[in-house]
Structure 1
């Protein structure tokens, strides 16, 4: 790799310098022929993390970005690789994860001939699930376009960006791009915040709904201070992809359901609701109910003007969360009202001859170290997990807030590689099979991840939704005969199996206590299939 002094060099030289300047020296990808020139004289201070399928590369990069709180760099292979990755790109976009995605493209001299592996209209392919998408007109523009893309990825609302690079551009001359800083925090109109503070002073029963934006902006201390100052009940937004409030706190009430009528009923006791960094009305099941009951007044604070525009009700303040909360805290007075009653604790899991998800989560609650990040992709059991395993650490819970499966397993790899601290990842058997090849990457890089696969023999979440609307049985929802222990071992992971309740405590203690330098461990649990209805919260 040549070293530049004040100018000159190639596109590759300038891009390598840019990646160093922005801290993106860990590259996630799956290489192909149209990326080969990017790897010429690969820098010794760079790490290439290979995903055996492009969607796992994107999800691993997302986990790394969430752990480092910086954009991560992803290299994809032409049109086919981008196509494979789009489910994960969709998750990253909806979950506001900053990724800089570069895809190889065939040589410029061949593009008019529709070449093998060439991408037609590459900038359109990943839209609308990227914030920015370009194939530069000139090779010399690539470093500047990538620098712009990085700044856009890191500007609120954060998200993935995409640049297509023809393979013969890397060796063309280009000037380096000087580093720049963009400060992207902004605050709503002070008069609007003052009016909101006055309404919080005068209301009788306030509630906060905490969304993923609170964690994204590291605004949990301010959200916690506001909740305590105004003595508000606190809920987490439906299907949130991140934690944003300590769940053991006495003001915490639970997770809102993604069904209009149920959500409105949970919020009906409150006269003022303030949603923080949350879309709030994230529904999964249609029931034609109004979004809120009459008498519930909504204020919505978020950095995304598009989200503010589509909300069906309420007053939106377009703002980043942290400075807005700081402003509100400066204006607030101590209220003359009682704090909300704490939510009741769930009943212990009843005895069973089989391992049940509830039994597993009860044990996980008592054995999970409080400084562990918990990653979840077990849709059938997510309500039970939230009810029984409180997460208190900022950034301590990660999942898909968007629903494209195959995210959790590789997300945990990237998150573990970000700081080399053990991550615990709870998966359903169906979810795990979307991206199981990421276990190879976990083993290859010694990623400290403990995986627990809850194997109920099928896509139980789909079956439950089918029962809800009178469709049973649902074809194509049974899975059986997958030996996850042998599968994990074939990828190089340590693995074990349990199916009897009496074996579970020792098996779980063994995988949770693994050293951070002992690499990935997988525990395969055969769990009893349940008839539980989705979105039927335990406490209400």
Structure 2
């Protein structure tokens, strides 16, 4: 009779919950689960393994995979050392509010079962303390029944709003034990996430009354695009109300080509806003301050009402201050975003309701025209700036971003990563970000090393559907996790990596220039220990060494589009990754 082990049940759990891929760098502390994943008898249920060369990459791969598909990829990390390596990527996912299912090996906690030396240094009491302040829930269960319960609780909690990573430690010895009598899985539905209700009752009446009375209401969005279905709903709501829309851009929340989208614009129009509806906005002070003058307390100086809607206040770390500055708001509502927008639309689009009255419709049309003029003028100005930048001797980021889009505009593309705030800003000004899910946002926590791994995960999610996945990859971020190229090549991930190489840690250089200028010192020394000028990296040769197809480095702006087109053609023909390096100012 074939013996079943507890690790086999873990694999069965992953299959039951729809996890079709797991990422890890191999480690002995989860060797029991590893054996069950590759065991021939489990072949029909075992998730596919995506091997990486570093735990930070493994977590980033799962991070990008979920953002691109809404599906979960399991992550295994090796004991305390693997969890420490993974911790930065877990923090990125925490700040990005992405639910990751992270399982770690540990132990054996029973000291009598430890091998000399290695089991002692790789066993930790309260191993979850490494990440406990930036995961939603964590546990170190001992015993088979307790571990089964922890797996179900973790999976349920990570998917319940507000979503975030979870961590469960799997004891080394428990994994390798024969399955005990009576230990079995719970029903699959046991992990079904709890739901928040829609905006209703007094909260709905209050908000609709404010929207009806407002002269210039502004809709601020940030994370609502995690559910791609909200995009069309928000467009319809904005059209019905004539809302000014400011997209903070942690996801594609609202088409940037829509004439009510006035994100990144300048001028005084929005300074007269008298109502702000903030949907799933993480940095409320930053959002408000982009168009309103604020008091020291972060409130609008003009007395504008602020209504917040979403999940943010349901998840707060006692260690990480990613909750941002406290803002005294008019009304804060915890409710399901998509259902709440639907409830608002029902009221607003009622042909017999107050929003159909001529007094309101006339006001709506007047402000919609003013917003459209602001939108059109801003986008035309950004296009002119990019075109003018193409005359520079060295390639400017705006010119590169514009030329890359010119090369791929006829493809069904997804931006898996935009590398840095500078690149990201120009993408939002120049690219038509319209299709839900076509822009996946930045890393969440500001931690370098995210881009390549997350882009691999996103491209794996689209590996079989012909979508062109593009990683606009900052060079500094790349150098944190270059071994992700091994995974990229080993699994033939059809990803276009475009390294935007300015040979700088640009943000650090800018800070060095700023402090030198403030102190009346030589700003020409700001590149010291912030640049790669003296020892430049050859990304083309680096990628080739891992077996990734490359093209000659681009050093002229007129070569950007032709090179990118050639790279796209190679991906479409061979289904394999390509790296393009652009040398920039």
State TM-score, norm by structure 1: 0.89
- Cα–Cα, structure 1 residues 431 and 289, in superposed 2: closer, same or farther, change >3 Å? farther
Structure 2 match to 1:227:
238
Counterparts of 2:107 and 2:433 in 1: how far apart (Å)? 47
Structure 1 match to 2:11:
16
Q: Counterparts in 2 of 1:368-383, with a 5 A limit?
A: 368-369=408-409, 371-374=412-415, 375-383=417-425
Counterparts of 1:224 and 1:300 in 2: how far apart (Å)? 18
- Cα–Cα, structure 1 residues 266 and 44, in superposed 2: closer, same or farther, change >3 Å? farther
State TM-score, norm by structure 2: 0.82
Tell me, what secondary structure is at the counterpart of 2:168? strand
Structure 1 match to 2:537:
482
Using the TM superposition, give the Cα deviation of residue 165 of structure 1 relative to its aligned residue in structure 2, in angstroms: 1.0
Residue 363, structure 1, aligned to residue 406, structure 2: no
- Cα–Cα, structure 1 residues 164 and 373, in superposed 2: closer, same or farther, change >3 Å? same
Residue 295, structure 1, aligned to residue 303, structure 2: yes
Residue 106, structure 1, aligned to residue 107, structure 2: yes
Structure 2 match to 1:522:
579
Consecutive unaligned residues in structure 1, runs of 5 or more: 4-8, 257-261, 529-540
Structure 1 match to 2:259:
250
Structure 2 match to 1:151:
156
Using the TM superposition, give the Cα deviation of residue 523 of structure 1 relative to its aligned residue in structure 2, in angstroms: 0.5
Counterparts of 1:478 and 1:134 in 2: how far apart (Å)? 42
Structure 2 match to 1:533:
none
Using the TM superposition, give the Cα deviation of residue 288 of structure 1 relative to its aligned residue in structure 2, in angstroms: 9.1
Bigger radius of gyration? 2
Structure 1 match to 2:343:
327
Tell me, what secondary structure is at the counterpart of 2:559? helix
1:435 aligned residue (477, 481, 487): 481
Query: Residues 420-443 of structure 1: CA distance to partner in whole angstroms, max 9, x if unpaired?
Result: 133101011111111221111111
Tell me, what secondary structure is at the counterpart of 1:123? helix
Deviates more, 1:267-276 or 1:210-219: 210-219
CA contact (8 A) 2:87 2:131 kept: yes
Structure 2 match to 1:405:
448
CA contact (8 A) 2:474 2:500 kept: yes
- Cα–Cα, structure 1 residues 266 and 78, in superposed 2: closer, same or farther, change >3 Å? farther
Residue 305, structure 1, aligned to residue 336, structure 2: no
Structure 1 match to 2:351:
none
Q: Give the count of matched residue pairs.
A: 515
Counterparts of 2:445 and 2:10 in 1: how far apart (Å)? 32
Deviates more, 1:466-475 or 1:419-428: 466-475
Structure 1 match to 2:319:
none
Using the TM superposition, give the Cα deviation of residue 2 of structure 1 relative to its aligned residue in structure 2, in angstroms: 6.4
Counterparts of 2:269 and 2:283 in 1: how far apart (Å)? 12
- Cα–Cα, structure 1 residues 386 and 23, in superposed 2: closer, same or farther, change >3 Å? same
CA contact (8 A) 1:430 1:479 kept: no
- Cα–Cα, structure 1 residues 373 and 425, in superposed 2: closer, same or farther, change >3 Å? same
CA contact (8 A) 1:72 1:98 kept: no
Query: Residues 101-121 of structure 1: CA distance to partner in whole angstroms, max 9, x if unpaired?
Result: 011112132289881211232
Using the TM superposition, give the Cα deviation of residue 265 of structure 1 relative to its aligned residue in structure 2, in angstroms: 7.4
Q: Counterparts in 2 of 1:185-204, with a 5 A limit?
A: 185-204=196-215
CA contact (8 A) 1:99 1:153 kept: yes
Counterparts of 1:438 and 1:417 in 2: how far apart (Å)? 13
- Cα–Cα, structure 1 residues 178 and 384, in superposed 2: closer, same or farther, change >3 Å? same
Deviates more, 1:16-25 or 1:181-190: 181-190
CA contact (8 A) 2:30 2:172 kept: yes
Residue 501, structure 1, aligned to residue 501, structure 2: no
Tell me, what secondary structure is at the counterpart of 1:128? helix
CA contact (8 A) 1:11 1:143 kept: no
Structure 2 match to 1:396:
438
Counterparts of 1:295 and 1:130 in 2: how far apart (Å)? 36
Using the TM superposition, give the Cα deviation of residue 379 of structure 1 relative to its aligned residue in structure 2, in angstroms: 3.3
Counterparts of 2:6 and 2:341 in 1: how far apart (Å)? 43
Using the TM superposition, give the Cα deviation of residue 14 of structure 1 relative to its aligned residue in structure 2, in angstroms: 2.2
CA contact (8 A) 1:209 1:276 kept: yes
Using the TM superposition, give the Cα deviation of residue 185 of structure 1 relative to its aligned residue in structure 2, in angstroms: 4.0
CA contact (8 A) 2:136 2:158 kept: yes
Using the TM superposition, give the Cα deviation of residue 296 of structure 1 relative to its aligned residue in structure 2, in angstroms: 2.4
Structure with greater proportional helix content: 2
Tell me, what secondary structure is at the counterpart of 2:272? coil
Tell me, what secondary structure is at the counterpart of 2:581? strand
